[in-house]
Amino acid sequence: MERGAQFVGQSTAFLDALDRASAAAALNRPLLVIGERGTGKELIAERLHRLSPRWGAPLITMNCAALPETLIEAELFGHEAGAFTGATRSRMGRFEEADGGTLFLDELATLSAAAQERLLRAVEYGEVTRIGSNQVITIDVRIVAATNEHLPALVEAGRFRADLLDRLSFEVITLPPLRAREGDVAVLADYFGRRMAAELEWLEWPGFSTDALEVLEGYDWPGNVRELRNVVERAVYRWGNPQRAVAVIDFDPFASPWRPAAPSKGIEHLSRKEDLQVPAPDRVEMREVAFDLGFRAACLAYEKHLLENALDRCRHNQRRTAAMLKLSYDQLRHALRRHDLLERAAQEQ
């Protein structure tokens, strides 16, 4: 967890989630934090701990997806020497380390069935047993768990224990994605931009150009705040001119004419092939347009028709629309602006 990180934002959706977390912090109950990747689940866990009566005790973090299934239980509950191959000495688990404090379990949905069963007992009775031992250890730990999965659906599918979900869901804090945080992209971009400028020892922060801000605000941010931070910091670092507003935004650091070709299998494509095809307008309709308006006006009308059609098929997702039309993101934005479609596209997202 990055120390010194803080919440930045002013949208109602964001502030509501923050208020709910602050209100729940004082209660000695387990909590679930739900949100897409990059929305700040770990920061919420830290806030819950710092505002709780346990603030002076340890905050222990464990990413449940970062360990193989065979080691998760040993990591959580500890083990005795000789309990399994490679266990040369006794080791306390994360529960014991967090005694008196908070244990943050990230990627909760990846826990195995056996680990879920042992976790349920720890939450229910406040007791753990190291692997290879019969001695019960009493612990006082508050559980904060996070996931980007819809746990009730996993329960229905038999992939998550219903009784464990009942015990962990006293309060559920769902973090809004960045695309739903109206006005926060500009605020966050300025915040991360200023930090990067200070790191580069710029004497002043020139900000972003109007077009650059439009590009940032028009993107749908699948990686949320984490992705925004990377994009902004990369833009400032590559700009290198503290006297002029940053005007170039690059969302894909891998973009290069010399990058290796992607393998044909095993890659999840942006959309199905048929979704990337824009049907041509009716011939009679376009012929009539040409006769009525002339060549240049007909070309513009056809271009507008293609843009509107592609936007509708992509549900006004501008990145998908650009891919469908084989345009760069900036080229699409300029085309939308030329036909007064940019504002409509932003409102429909």
Tell me the per-residue pLDDT of 136-163, one tens digit each, with 9 for 90 and over. Answer: 999 999 999 999 999 999 999 999 999 9
The residue type of 235 is A
Domain borders along the chain are: 12-176, 182-239, 273-348
CA atoms within 13 A on the CB side of 5: 15
Q: Can you list the positions of beta strands (E) in 87-140? A: 102-106, 127-129, 136-138
- Listing DSSP states for 22-54 in one string gives HHHTTS-S-EEEE--TTS-HHHHHHHHHHTSTT
pTM of the full predicted structure? 0.71
**Which of 3.30.420.110, 3.40.1190.20, 2.60.40.1120, 1.10.8.60 is the CATH number of 182-239?**
1.10.8.60
> 265: Cβ–Cβ under 8 A, 6 or more apart, which residues?
none
Q: How far is CA 42 from CA 7, 36, 125, 310, 349, in A?
A: 11, 12, 26, 38, 28
Q: Between 6 and 120, where is the model more confident?
A: 120
Token pair 């934090």 is found at 33
> Hey, what are 69's tokens?
């299934």
294-349: pLDDT as tens digits: 666 777 778 888 888 888 888 788 888 888 888 877 778 878 888 888 766 555 55
Task: Give which of 147, 151, 155, 195 is closest to 175, Cα–Cα.
Answer: 147
Q: Residues 102, 94: contact at Cβ < 8 Å?
A: no
Residue 18, number of CB atoms within 10 A of its CB = 18
Q: What is the CATH number of domain 12-176?
A: 3.40.50.300
Q: Residues 205, 43: contact at Cβ < 8 Å?
A: no
Taking 60 as the threshold, does the pLDDT of residue 102 lie above it? Answer: yes
